[in-house]
């Protein structure tokens, strides 16, 4: 089951960068449905790792359908917070509420990753059809499908692969 969650579909796009501290920093955008659990964990974990490795990338995250997260309590999933703490990482955006993805977010990103192809490709087709084929899709199911410890560990492994790939660019 875990092997199938590690499958990746790569995009066919190039994107934008921004300047920070006189250094060009590329933007990585993580997408999930509610921008509460998987994408927020990926954003936080990636940013800690990229900073530690002095990689010229910074992640952001957005939701494709944040209206579906009406039952979420607080701005960030307790499962994501707990997993970050277990890994010795301090979440930087604990007060930020989930944010809806916009075309501006997509245009500003140098690379985009959606956390679950079967869930997010249809949302991309519905809401951002021009962008659907320009995204890398992972296979990390939501909490109803995959237990949080398994899902977040899968994200860790996929981040390892992604960071190595970005480092080699």
Question: How far is 153 from 158, CA to CA, in rounded Å?
Answer: 9
**95: confidence class by pLDDT, cuts 50, 70, 90:** confident
Whole-Å CA distances, 82 to 47, 70, 89, 125: 17, 21, 10, 33
Nearest residue to 43 (alpha-carbon basis) of 63, 59, 62: 59
Chain centroid to CA 10 = 14
| 44/39 Cα distance (integer angstroms) | 9
Give the N- to C-terminal CA distance of the chain in Å, as an integer: 31
Specify the pLDDT at position 122: 97
| 93-97, 124-128, 145-149: range with lowest mean pLDDT | 93-97
Interval 28-81: pLDDT, tens: 999 999 999 999 999 999 999 999 988 899 999 999 999 887 777 778 899 999
DSSP characters over 96-147:
PPP-B--HHHHHH-SEEEESBHHHHHHHHHHH-GGGGGGSEE-B---TTTS-
Spatial separation of the C-alpha atoms in residues 140 and 146, rounded to whole Å: 8
Tens of pLDDT, residue by residue over 1-40, are 233 334 445 454 444 444 444 467 899 999 999 999 999 9
Locate 66 and state its tokens.
């944040």
The answer to whether residues 115 and 2 touch, using CB atoms and an 8 Å cutoff, is: no
Domains along the chain?
2-167 (3.40.50.2300)
- Is 167's pLDDT higher than 90? no
C-alpha distances out from residue 61 to 2, 3, 34, 150, Å? 24, 24, 10, 20
What is the Cα–Cα distance from 121 to 130, expressed in whole angstroms? 12
Which H or E element spans position 147?
Answer: none
Q: Which of 143, 91, 83 is nearest to 116 (CA)?
A: 143
């Amino acid at each position: 089951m875990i092997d199938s969650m590690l499958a990746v579909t790569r995009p066919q796009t190039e994107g934008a960068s921004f300047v920070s501290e006189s250094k060009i920093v590329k933007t990585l955008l993580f997408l999930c449905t509610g921008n509460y659990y998987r994408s927020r964990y990926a954003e936080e974990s990636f940013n800690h790792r990229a900073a530690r490795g002095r990689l010229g990338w910074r992640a952001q995250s957005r939701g494709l359908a944040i209206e579906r997260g009406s039952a979420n309590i607080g701005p960030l999933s307790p499962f994501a917070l707990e997993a970050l703490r277990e890994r010795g990482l301090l979440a930087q955006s604990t007060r930020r509420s989930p944010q809806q993805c916009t075309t501006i977010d997509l245009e500003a990103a140098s690379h985009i990753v959606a956390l679950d192809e079967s869930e997010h490709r249809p949302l991309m087709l519905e809401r951002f059809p021009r962008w659907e084929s320009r995204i890398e899709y992972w296979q990390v199911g939501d909490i109803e499908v995959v237990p949080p410890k398994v899902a977040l560990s899968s994200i860790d492994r996929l981040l390892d692969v992604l960071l190595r790939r970005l480092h080699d660019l």
